[in-house]
Amino acid sequence: MRPALFTLVLGAPQWLGPALGLWGLVAAAALWSYARGPRGGWRAGCAALKLLGGAALAACLVEPLWTGQRARPGANLFAVVADNSQGLQVRDRGSDRTRGEWLREWLDPQRSGAWTTLEEAFEVRRFLFDARLQAVRHFEELTFEGRATALGAALTALRERFANRPLAGVLLFTDGIATDLRDTWPPLDGLPPVYPVVVGRVGAVRDLALETVQVSQTAFEDAPVTLTAGVRALGLAGERVEVTLSDARGTRLAAQESRVRRDAETLSFRFQWRPPEPGLAFYEVRAHLPGAAPGAEATLLNNARLVPVDRGGGPYRILYVAGRPNWEYKFLNRALAEDDQLQLVALLRVARREPKFEFRGRAGETSNPLFRGFGHQAPEEVERYDQPVLIRLNTRDERELRDGFPRTAEALFAYDALILDDVEADFFAPDQQSLIARFVAERGGGLLMLGGAESFRQGGYFRTPVGDALPVYLDRAPEPVAGATWRFQLTREGWLEPWVRLHETEAAEKARLQAMPAFAVVNPVGEPKPGAALLATVADEPGRELPALATQRFGRGRTAALTVGDFWRWGMLNPEARRDLEKAWRQLARWLVTEVPRRVELTIEPAPDSAPGAVRLLVRARDPQFLPLDGAQVVVEVTPVAAGTNAPAAPLRLTAEPSAREPGLYEGLYVARHPGAYRAAVAVTNATAEAVGRAVAGWSSDLAAEEFRSLEPNVALLEELARRTGGEVVSAGRLAEFARGLPRRQAPVMEAWTAPAWHTPGWLALALGCFLTEWGLRRWKGLP
């Protein structure tokens, strides 16, 4: 709302000619009288004063008028909105009152004349907002106990409430610390200019706050969970900060300390640990000042967070296919047997397909003549001897893999990862090879090829769907080198991957690599494809280097190539080497199944735009071919987790409805009324009431921690809000001046106004002042 423009117009333009003539006579007489005397600068000044005074008197004949537009009194609405959240209970450093008490004083009509001026020109509407917008008659209702600062929701409510009504502006009193404005702005079109008044001073608070807490999981076996905490220290330069990690029962797991080097610094703390049990668990992160006296911080409500960690999701089923029994399967199977989240199912070929014998017997006879008379042999029975001999290990039941490698998407997509070892491409039919590529790209599974003699290019995978999915080129592979020995070493990318390393320190990892034996079987491949990561190489004595371990993303899944064919040799050195080998296999297998989609997935998404403490439960359901599943029945049980334990209390059942955003997505909304940890379990059934799958997820709700996440007034957000709506930031000391200038700004309902410019004391004073000043100068210089 910009200040309205005003202009000067003539009320009696017909008198313009006489006025100019009169002024011309005055000017001629003045110039004639001053031209007769001696020249000097003061004489020119006296002449100019007489000319100006004459012009002021002559202008009265044309009646000059000021004209413009202003807001019509009482025709426009104006909203005054005050923040009522508990964040205003903070007391700035050096202040004897809280921010809320200062706000009460600014809004008191007995202490500020701004409100009387505002009510004379506008119909003022008063509102409070915290978790929601509330209309009030007086601001005595301010309590500063609101659980959230839903600024975005308040602006949206104002926009909807005053749609198609003459709202001239919004005077907004807040600290700008909005709990519902993180990455996106609410729709601001149709909203009048917003004039924020910042409550609180920047840099005037001593406080420690957990601003961010992020949890990530890797396949690193010793410490698969990594938690990174960002702690904001305001006004605490030189102080020590300690951050602790505890489980749900309060048992301290780890602690770290750091010193604040400068004011308004964000300290980073990183914890790595291995949860003792799989599944969903909650942990507490807490920051504090060791040895600090009570009251050293503005508030303690933002010092702790509950964090959910889900180490469940299993068991993940991995299908291992090998062209012959070998040592690699022995060590791999032994390693994965120790991980209760991984299940290795094997399909091993123990004999190749043999060509049929041609027996020379009677015409039409298909069996050996020596066995003539020992029973009837059907053609199907004879054909059975022409098939390879396969054995199945660790299958779920006698029907699994009974017909060999899966031929349908439903059968193959039931696994999470696939390992091919020493098996040639011709083992698979063309449709099975395409199915493997779809398994990775569409289903999102993991594919690993090991470096046996019948793998990669030597196995005939060049120009096949499986070869296209691998992270290395097969057409550029060098020829094998007979009798060479190869040393295993990590690349720079390999050192950065936690699941490739086996030890926590660099020295221990280098010692492990140095102790690894030289390998004799390496299946040579070409360089990695664009976008692939080369994590390890092998080098022979002359220094020739070949890829050893490479990975890449392929569609929704991931693939890896391990070209060493006798990796098992590492585990034959000693018991310590065998433990390292088994650990390497487990970490590689966990990497294969990391981020592999399940048929039912549950994710938790904050929904502060709906209500404080609200979360959106997003359920994705898929059919056996991992296509979106529509028409499903999705039931979610939400359970508060009792304090001090991971055990849930009484659950609440709700039904997730199909979403219009994407097929196979179902949404439900849950509002947490109390702070604490929550556990959600979803069960999905299809249209025929057949169980599709289950999933579990958790989250924590702490509105006070979100409200006090930062105590520094967010001036940048309020300035951006004012810029987007055409307003400006107003200081509390300028409220009266701002209120006086509001009627001259643009408003929905305006009126024209005029005021005489000549019929005023100022205009007459200008004319008399010019004549009297000119007369005084003449007397001073002794002129007539």
pLDDT tens sequence across 421-456: 999 999 999 999 999 999 999 999 999 999 988 999
Residues 126, 139: Cα–Cα separation, whole Å? 8
pLDDT-based confidence at residue 662 (cuts at 50, 70, 90):
very high
pLDDT attached to residue 675: 87
Q: Is the pLDDT of residue 516 over 70?
A: yes
Average pLDDT over the chain, rounded to whole?
87
Q: Edge-to-edge strands of the sheet including 750-756?
A: 6-10, 64-71, 750-756
Q: Is the dihedral of CA 126, 128, 129, 135 positive or negative?
A: negative
Q: Which residue is associated with the tokens 């007539």?
A: 784
| Least-confidence region, from 39-43, 344-348, 725-729 | 39-43
Q: What is the mean predicted confidence (pLDDT) over 584-599?
A: 94
Instruction: Give the residue with greater pLDDT, 645 vs 66.
Output: 66
Q: Is the pLDDT of residue 149 over 50?
A: yes
pLDDT attached to residue 607: 86
Q: What are the tokens at 316?
A: 């993940």
Query: What is each CA distance from 591 to 254, 304, 347, 780, in whole angstroms?
Result: 26, 32, 21, 101
Q: Is the pLDDT of residue 552 over 50?
A: yes
Q: Is the pLDDT of residue 697 over 90?
A: yes
pLDDT tens sequence across 251-297: 999 999 999 999 889 999 999 998 888 889 999 999 999 988 887 88
pLDDT attached to residue 656: 95
pLDDT-based confidence at residue 556 (cuts at 50, 70, 90):
very high
pLDDT attached to residue 467: 96
| Least-confidence region, from 49-53, 76-80, 458-462 | 49-53
pLDDT tens sequence across 476-498: 888 877 888 999 999 999 999 98
Q: What are the tokens at 199?
A: 């409550």
What string of DSSP letters covers 584-629?
A: HHHHHHHHHHTT---SEEEEEEE-TTTSTTEEEEEEEEB-TTS-B-
Which amino acid makes up residue 132?
R
Q: What is the mean predicted confidence (pLDDT) over 118-146?
A: 92
How many CB atoms sit inside 10 A of residue 691's CB? 10
Residues 6+ apart with CB under 8 A from 129: 81, 82, 83, 84, 146, 149, 150, 151, 153, 154, 157
Residues 6+ apart with CB under 8 A from 174: 81, 82, 83, 149, 151, 196, 197, 198, 199, 718
pLDDT attached to residue 560: 97
Q: Which residue is associated with the tokens 């005489």?
A: 756
pLDDT attached to residue 521: 92
Instruction: Give the residue with greater pLDDT, 726 vs 9.
Output: 726
Q: Please name every residue paired with 252 in a beta bridge, in sequence order, or none if there are none.
A: 246
Burial call 586-608: b when 16+ CB within 10 Å, e when fewer: bbbbbbbbbebbbbbbbebebbb
Residues 323/423, Cβ–Cβ less than 8 Å: yes
219 secondary structure, DSSP code: S
pLDDT-based confidence at residue 357 (cuts at 50, 70, 90):
very low
Residues 6+ apart with CB under 8 A from 530: none
pLDDT attached to residue 783: 60
Instruction: Give the residue with greater pLDDT, 23 vs 377.
Output: 23
Residues 647, 247: Cα–Cα separation, whole Å? 13
Q: What are the tokens at 401?
A: 């893999």
Residues 591/584, Cβ–Cβ less than 8 Å: no
Mode of pairing for the β-strands spanning 342-351 and 316-322? parallel
| Least-confidence region, from 77-91, 283-297, 392-406, 409-423 | 283-297
pTM: 0.77
pLDDT tens sequence across 36-76: 655 566 667 777 777 777 777 777 777 777 776 778 888 99
pLDDT tens sequence across 199-218: 998 888 889 999 899 998 88
pLDDT-based confidence at residue 82 (cuts at 50, 70, 90):
very high
Which percentage of the chain shows pLDDT scores above 70? 89
pLDDT-based confidence at residue 362 (cuts at 50, 70, 90):
low
Residues 471, 537: Cα–Cα separation, whole Å? 14
Residues 154/64, Cβ–Cβ less than 8 Å: no
pLDDT attached to residue 373: 47
pLDDT-based confidence at residue 98 (cuts at 50, 70, 90):
very high
Closest CA to 519 of 569, 445, 476, 555: 569
Query: What is each CA distance from 346 to 79, 317, 341, 399, 565, in whole angstroms?
Result: 71, 10, 17, 14, 18
Instruction: Give the residue with greater pLDDT, 511 vs 543.
Output: 511
Residues 727/81, Cβ–Cβ less than 8 Å: no
Residues 778/46, Cβ–Cβ less than 8 Å: yes
Residues 192, 186: Cα–Cα separation, whole Å? 14
Burial call 137-155: b when 16+ CB within 10 Å, e when fewer: eebeebebebbbbbbbbbb
Query: What is each CA distance from 477 to 155, 178, 530, in whole angstroms?
Result: 63, 58, 16
Q: What is the mean predicted confidence (pLDDT) over 581-590?
A: 95
Residues 6+ apart with CB under 8 A from 112: 106, 735, 736
Query: What is each CA distance from 458 to 454, 522, 653, in whole angstroms?
Result: 6, 11, 57
Q: What is the mean predicted confidence (pLDDT) over 395-403?
A: 92
Residues 367/379, Cβ–Cβ less than 8 Å: no
Q: Is the dihedral of CA 390, 392, 398, 400 positive or negative?
A: negative
pLDDT attached to residue 496: 92
CA atoms within 13 A on the CB side of 326: 22
Residues 412, 204: Cα–Cα separation, whole Å? 62
Residues 680/695, Cβ–Cβ less than 8 Å: no
pLDDT attached to residue 370: 47
Residues 456/523, Cβ–Cβ less than 8 Å: yes
15-24, 247-256, 556-565, 671-680 — most confident range: 556-565
Residues 6+ apart with CB under 8 A from 29: none
Residues 139, 304: Cα–Cα separation, whole Å? 33
Angle at which helix 41-59 crosses helix 761-780, to 10 degrees, equals 150
pLDDT-based confidence at residue 781 (cuts at 50, 70, 90):
low
Closest CA to 721 of 303, 288, 194: 194
pLDDT-based confidence at residue 620 (cuts at 50, 70, 90):
very high
Which percentage of the chain shows pLDDT scores above 90? 58
| Least-confidence region, from 320-324, 690-694, 744-748 | 744-748
